[in-house]
Structure 1
């Protein structure tokens, strides 16, 4: 198979609008999760990572807020990669879980609204704005959307359909989204605690992230490869994950096989780590089945909250930075072991010796995804 390289990446979050700003603040232990007072989004106070209102002051009516966030992210990576969107071998994939769902909260339901709220409409607007000539692809697969988008891009590149693919993902937190998680009693009343014995739920977050994948090797000394990727499903419950971890393990195993790595080659694992009881327990079982229980693991949710359709991409970018700088970001909020199977949870900045890492995600409907990143 053709090697697939990461040639550009970016994060736009409440911590900053570049990858460099974000990773620098993560190294300092800075989190964007804050207590937000009751208001339009929620009748009760809640913890989340949200953009300040000043962030949206340059937002114009051409785009919705969701589309504006996506467009900003795509623009950043196009500048980095010098990729021509109008080239017939350049593709665009967008990932999100809820997209323009907030329009339902603010407007009467009309045929025009139904058209505008669709992911297809948003993708067409983004593609037209930047001059992409190929039809964009939309991935909306719960919380694994970002990783599935990367895996899809990888397969397109390997099949020769494209030479470069821009992958971008975003979500904004609306009343609809927050109330849904509140109805599950899945939202923590404090900053979240991934893998901790006292964890009691998630924090939500807003962000966008983008990655450009290419068959063309970049000029830097140690390029990062997207070496493997796989998807699986629990077939267990609409919202509850597998009780055994077998299905996530299946995705991990297949991704590692495709990436030609063993457990000994993995320097760290970036887990989904939502800080819900069942998700974290399931992940600990999958890690044990994969014989990775001694490998350092982390969750980034304590810094950004759960950014939904952006999460897989955002956390992949952080993993790329970790590989490039040989340092692993600790799990914010974790202090007391509390998962079904013991894991080596990273609690302090620590060096990485191996040249590969594993990134996983899981979501509603029992979906799972895993990718392997490694230095060439």
Structure 2
């Protein structure tokens, strides 16, 4: 089986325009989440991690969503020779909402229907950068980013491509925010993942890009060694009550990687800070025998960035492996739930070799991937 390496990446968020800037802020406990009073998004004040309007240049060819993708891709591709115009390179775009906000500002028409379609954005981005292959779209609720990485890994392992460029983004609009508010799922303050007093999510905007390749990069290398997907078949918005289905994805990913619970050094959880999601994740982690493994959620720093969240959190996890540093769970203070897990409440510096990244989303979807340091890099 071909090895799949993470050879370049970018996190583009309100915390910074590069992965390095983002990781430095995380280490220093800086969050992008703050209170906003924007009547264009909500009648009531709300907490979220949003870009300032000055982040976006004026170019009517592209929407804010597409500008985010372009910004993150530009940072990632700078100085990286991955033969963008090569037939063995493909672009994957990950998003849950894309240009859905255009429904709020444009008149209904066939032209709008075409403009709002994700494949339209993907083709515009592919043309902008010079990709020659038809881009691939992954839109699978909140696991979109991880599904895109698993798809890229499989495309490489099957021999169809040597390089896969994966970019994901989402922006927060009134449509998106009001949807979560209608579920009464939005916290009135800063979110508290896995905490006994958790009361809902904060949303966030962001973009991320990662390049997967068969080429081992110079220096310390991170491998995407396995991934698996499952579905609860339980409810359109409510997660499984047993955690068995996420556990299935975790177990499949660990089996494919040849790893046992004692081999996992930390877990990057979805950790939305809703009552049911966090409890379901805790149950799944416990079923996998991983309840004692250090676990974190980054939602207190980024909010929930939807289709970008899996990519952002996977890239941060890869950086954690390189830096031998586990980021704490901002907002967590006391254990809650019937299945206590080892939530990181402070920065941890320790030798790290492997990470389990998990995510879940509406429709009952679940995903898990395993990231490790390349075995040649482990002394």
- TM-score, structure 1 normalization: 0.98
- 1:229 is paired with a residue whose SS is strand
- Which deviations, in whole Å up to 9, do the C-alpha atoms of 1:200-236 show, x marking residues without a partner? 000000000000000111111x200000100000000
Q: CA-to-partner distance for each residue in 1:149-198, whole Å, 9 max, x for gaps?
A: 00000000001111100001000000000000000000000000000010
Question: How much is the aligned-residue C-alpha RMSD, in angstroms?
Answer: 0.7
Question: Could you say which residue in structure 2 is the equivalent of 1:133?
Answer: 132
The answer on whether the counterparts of 1:143 and 1:364 sit within 8 Å (CA) in structure 2 is: yes
* Structure 2: unaligned runs, 5 residues or longer: 375-379
Within 5 Å, give how 1:119-268 maps onto structure 2.
Answer: 119-220=118-219, 222-268=220-266
Q: Are the equivalent residues in 2 in contact too, given 1:265–1:354 (CA < 8 A)?
A: no
| Counterpart Cα distance in 2 of 1:52 and 1:261 | 43
CA-CA distance at 1:352 after TM superposition: 3.2
Q: Which runs of 5+ in 1 are unaligned?
A: none
Q: Which residue of 2 aligns with 1:301?
A: 299
1:29 aligns with 2:29: yes
Counterpart of 2:317?
A: 319
Q: Distance in 1 between matches of 2:265 and 2:41?
A: 40
Match of 1:334 in 2: 332
Q: Distance in 2 between matches of 1:77 and 1:261?
A: 30
Indicate the larger mover: 351-360 or 129-138.
351-360
In structure 2, C-alpha distance between the alignment counterparts of 1:99 and 1:245, rounded to whole Å? 29
Deviation readout 1:268-308 (Å, 9 max, x if unpaired): 00000000000000000000000000100000000000000
1:80 Cα offset (Å): 4.5
Residue 4 of structure 1 aligns with which residue? 4
Structure 1 pair 38–44 and aligned structure 2 pair: CA distance change class (3 A)? farther
> Which residue of the partner structure matches residue 92 of structure 1?
91
Aligned mates of 1:320, 1:339 — CA distance in 2: 29
DSSP 3-state at the match of 1:345 = coil
| Post-superposition offset of 1:339 | 2.4
What is the correspondence of 1:10-21 to structure 2 with a 5 Å cutoff?
10-21=10-21
Aligned residues: 374
1:9–1:210: 8 Å Cα contact kept in structure 2? Answer: yes
Three-state SS of the structure 1 residue aligned to 2:292 is: coil
Name the structure 2 match of 1:64.
63
CA distance in 1: counterparts of 2:125 and 2:331, whole angstroms: 37
Corresponding residue SS for 1:11: strand
Partner of 1:289: 287
Residue 343 of structure 2 corresponds to 345
Distance in structure 1 (CA, Å) of the matches to 2:325 and 2:313: 14
Alignment of 1:34-45 (within 5 A): 34-45=34-45
Check whether the contact 1:267–1:352 (CA below 8 A) recurs between aligned residues: no
What CA distance in whole angstroms lies between the structure 2 residues aligned with 1:80 and 1:177?
Answer: 35
Deviations 1:325-362 (A, max 9, x none): 00000000000101230100001111233410000000
- The whole-number CA distance in structure 2 between the counterparts of 1:252 and 1:351 is 25
Which residue, 361, 365, 368 being the options, matches 2:363?
365
Matching of residue 75 in structure 1 with residue 68 in structure 2: no
Q: Which residue pairs with 1:54 in the alignment?
A: 54
